[in-house]
Amino acid sequence: MTEAEFERDLASQGFTEVSTVQREAGGQMLSHTHPFEARALILDGDIRIEVAGETRHYQTGDIFHLAHGEPHSEFYGPQGVRYRVGRK
């Protein structure tokens, strides 16, 4: 999926706030929540996200989704990660 296709998909699903996020190599954010639902397309690098004791690994071209208020931890790969995210 291209970035333009992803943004059209976000709009069709009601995601009105769209931005690009970049996180540092080897960084992490331990258990936290967000006051919004998020759907993101990995543009560069990789990220591991742990939800309810399960860890999933996302790389360039992958899409991840987090529900509003869903507790999770994030771990950024050796090159960091950059992703396009929609929030609602």
Q: What is the pLDDT of residues 36-68, one digit of tens each?
A: 999 999 999 999 999 999 999 999 999 999 999
Domain count, the chain: 1
- Is the confidence at residue 1, as pLDDT, over 90? no
Give the pTM.
Answer: 0.94
Q: Which domain does 75 fall in, by range?
A: 3-87
Supply the CATH number for residue 53's domain: 2.60.120.10
Question: How many other C-beta atoms lie within 10 A of the C-beta of residue 55?
Answer: 11
Q: CA–CA separation, 4 vs 43, rounded Å?
A: 12
74 pLDDT band, cuts 50/70/90, is: very high
